[in-house]
Structure 1
Amino acid sequence: MTTILLIIIYLAFISLGLPDSLLGAAWPIMQLDFGAPFETAGFLFMTIAGGTIISSLVSGKVLRRFGTGKVTCVSVLLTACALLGFQFAPSIAWLFVCAIPLGLGAGAIDTGLNDYVANNYKAHHMSWLHCFWGVGATLGPLIMAQFIMGEASWRSGYFIIFGLQFVLVVILLLTLPLWKKVKESNKNAVDEENDDSMGFVNDLDAKDIKPIKLRGVKLALVSFMFYCSVEASIGLWGSSFLVNVKGLHAATAAQWVSFYFAGITLGRFITGFITFKIANRTLIRVGQITALFGAIILFLPLPVIFSLLGFIIVGVGLAPIFPCMMHETPTRFGKKHSQTIMGYQVAIAYTGTTFMPPLLGFIASHTTIGILPTFILIFILVMLLSSEKLNKIILVRSNKPSSYLL
């Protein structure tokens, strides 16, 4: 029963990743079809992310009332309908309309499943959960590339992804009773996992304080925001960078960006095994340093093949960061507050997605998309510095539990 539900959760995260990388892969062709300005993709991305932020902020109350299973089912249905709308869109305005339910559905899925896994499964399951997001994000550009290269258009790519999402809706509907049963049977699964901060968690769980006032929460939010800024900026503008700066064909560029998402996917699969031996905080640090190295390769004026290498290295570096930070949430701030803080983290992560890639696109439209590596380098440095400062606060707190407030 537990295994069946876990497979369904993994499938739901594949469905979450599929649309995330579609727009960036298809945009060089969509832009020509609609005759739209270059930066329009950034505003579409902003609309999607805005819906995600809204649903993330209210997801705590919605999840408590309806349960993770029902919310996930309805949310996947929302994203499926939005993708069908993209397929039939007669104009850019219609794309903006469809972007709203796409974002609303994604935010609820992200928050609900992250909190469910963090509180009911061990660390390796969280890494594998986000590995399956990478499977979806990798398949998205590959599917789109096949249609761009063939006689069909980008619209057919969106229709195929809609079909996959709708199949998942049917599966989720048929398996709704499993969610409550597994939650009850897995109550103590995460408690059995050893962690050097568990004493703090248990102490904090007894405190009646507002989550946002916990010391370190704001630094965690900064880390999430700039993580998503990196991930989304490459996903959205990577193809355009390769086409306009490196001179690749649109289909080849889409395939290359899929390798970036493949790096995230493979890295998270491997991370799931590594979590048995290495702590989340160490994996976060190593991932950030690796991503920084990949960004430096992209930044340097090297032959075009190094762009592919840089994308892959950044992807591998990003792999452990998001799932490990998510799984650390109950440990860092207490289980009592984890669902609320999880919603904050998803919301602020998508705030980075909302504003940073469009800002990059706006600047690039007045300069050149060649600025992408510079932005990526800055984003990673900010993420690394905020994460390291948070680690210092946690270390002090573990020695002096009374320092949990701002």
Structure 2
Amino acid sequence: MFLVLLAYLAFFSIALPDSMLGVAWPTMRIDFGQPISAAGLVPPFGVAATLVATSLTGRLLARFGVGRLLAASTLLSTASLVVAATSHSFAQFLASAVLAGLSGGAIDAALNAYAARWFGPRRISLLHASYVLGAAASPLLVTATVQAGLGWRWAWAVVAGVQAVLCGVFLLTRHRWTSGDRPASAGGGAGRGLAGARPLDVGLGLLAVAVQTGIESSVALWAFTALTQSAGVSVVVAGTIASGYWVAIFVGRVVLGWVAERTGPWLVMGGGVVGLLGAAGLGLLGGPVAAPIAIGLFGLAAAPVYPLLTLTTAERTSEAAADTVVGFQAAASSLGAAVFPLLVGIALDRSASGFALAMAGLCIGAALLQAGLQLRRRARRVAGTS
């Protein structure tokens, strides 16, 4: 149980840096002498580094193990936060974003790989719910330090301290991450590349993860704009709904993870994409009533899908390939979170109904991919019994 709680804390902590920039940038940009638009340069550096780290995680896990990789990654995360907190130029801060992407990507993929092998639906959903809490907490931390007159740098310093403590704990517990009860997905042979996995199964899973995180990130980024510009919702109400979206994701992961523990992950994933289609339909209907309900439903319906896609990786591919594929899926998640919100933003810029239309397309894509995964699962079952 100690390692489970530690994994939750680690996922909470890696979310903290991800959500601080937006709140800190108005003050930070003055220190760096940068225009407001320069903030858009930061995510590409972090995403590129994350893609490198997550893609290599399977090999790193096979060589060093979960405990050592987590200790090294949190040490790198601490270093990135210290570099950010002491940056005297924007170039220095961009360098810290690269370090943060490498460390965060490795921690994300390593913990997801561990959770896919050892956790059940409820625990892996709670793991991802803890990330939501971290994403919600860090803007409050930045606001508190700035309002207290300490400046944005102290927020990064506080999170660096948290990561340093985590690094020490991971170092002390590095040998415990390979022991314990029988994993949730029985078997062995982790870390042998893509052994036993069919390219079609791997590809479908990568696309499903990319589209899923694209949906989550697009709603998070554009819900407020869409509600105020095309749905006739007031600024105050739209802001409340945009915050409530994260609450819906958190509640959905807690509650539906518990449901998946009893019904199995596949039924809940199927129900999730049906819910996404319902949310998309409400979004197309629009208006000050249907549109806000759609945002909440997007959060609830999307909540369990990515954690459960991670959990079922070995079942969809192979036990031997699971760690490597989870790393690739984490990379696909980062790529989807970067690309699809950009495309949705372009659609919204061209038409007031662009957000609803783009989200409907993404949700239909998610449903088709989920149907493909379900069909492949049934085909494997038939082949296994023949």
Q: CA deviation at 1:213?
A: 3.5
Q: Deviations over 1:116-160 (max 9, x none)?
A: 122123232212211212221222334345557776655444444
Rounded to whole Å, the distance in 1 between the matches of 2:261 and 2:309 is 16
CA contact (8 A) 1:211 1:340 kept: no
- CA-CA distance at 1:176 after TM superposition: 2.3
Give the CA deviation at 1:258.
Answer: 4.0
Cα distance in 1 for partners of 2:220, 2:78 equals 20
Q: CA contact under 8 A between 1:221 and 1:345: conserved in structure 2? A: yes
> Aligned partners of 1:242 and 1:86: how far apart in 2?
34
The residue that corresponds to 1:23 in the other structure is 21
Q: Which runs of 5+ in 2 are unaligned?
A: none
After TM superposition, list the pairs within 5 Å mapping 1:75-86 onto structure 2.
75-86=73-84
Contact in 2 for aligned 1:76/1:168 (Cα 8 Å): yes
Of 261, 264, 274, the match for 1:279: 264
Q: Which amino acid aligns with 1:323?
A: P
Query: What residue in structure 2 maps to residue 68 of structure 1?
Result: 66
TM alignment of 1:100-179, pairs within 5 A:
100-146=98-144, 154-179=152-177
After TM superposition, give the deviation of residue 89 of structure 1 in Å: 4.2
Residue 36 of structure 1: aligned partner: 35
Q: Could you tell me how far apart the structure 2 residues matched to 1:390 and 1:109 are?
A: 27
On the 8 A contact 2:83/2:93 being kept in 1, the answer is yes
Does structure 1 residue 260 correspond to structure 2 residue 245?
yes
TM-superposed CA distance for 1:334, in Å, is: 1.9
Compute the displacement of 1:68 (Å): 0.6
Distance in structure 1 (CA, Å) of the matches to 2:149 and 2:194: 59
Give the letter for the 2:112 counterpart: N
Match of 2:300? 316
Q: 1:271 to 1:376 in 2, by over 3 A?
A: same
Q: TM-score, normalised by structure 2?
A: 0.83
Structure 1 regions of 5+ residues with no counterpart?
A: 192-200
CA distance in 2, matches of 1:187, 1:297: 44
Partner of 2:315: 331
- Tell me the equivalent position of 1:93: 91
Amino acid at match of 2:56: V
Query: What is the aligned residue count?
Result: 381
- Residues 1:188 and 1:31: Cα distance change in structure 2 (over 3 Å): closer
Once residues 209 and 261 of structure 2 are traced to their aligned partners in structure 1, the CA distance between those partners, rounded to angstroms, is 24
Query: What is the deviation of 1:283?
Result: 0.9
> In the alignment, what sits opposite 2:358?
375
Instruction: Give distance in 1, aligned partners of 2:328 and 2:360.
Output: 25
Match of 2:43 in 1: 45
Which residue type is aligned with residue 81 of structure 1?
A
Deviations 1:225-258 (A, max 9, x none): 1112122334445566678886748xx94x7544
**Selected match of 2:370 from 387, 391, 397:** 387
Matches within 5 A, 1:281-296: 281-296=266-281
1:229 alignment partner, SS class? helix
Cross-structure match for 2:214: 229
Matched-pair contact (CA < 8 Å) for 1:76–1:105: yes
RMSD over aligned CA atoms reads: 3.7
CA drift at 1:162? 3.2
Q: How far apart in 2 are the matches of 1:368 and 1:21? A: 28
Check if 1:396 corresponds to 2:379: yes
Deviation at 1:295, TM superposition (A): 4.5
C-alpha contact 1:230 1:379 (8 A) present in aligned 2: yes
Hey, what's the Cα distance between the residues in 2 that align with 1:138 and 1:315?
Answer: 14
Cα distance between partner residues in 1 of 2:297 and 2:275? 7
Name the CA distance, whole Å, in 2 between partners of 1:127 and 1:102. Answer: 24
On the 8 A contact 2:47/2:334 being kept in 1, the answer is yes
1:365–1:376: structure 2 CA closer, same or farther, 3 Å change rule? closer
Give aligned-pair identity as a percent.
26
**CA shift at 1:374, angstroms?**
4.0
Residue-by-residue CA offset, 1:198-245 (whole Å, 9 max, x unaligned): xxx99x99x997566343221111111111212233444556667888
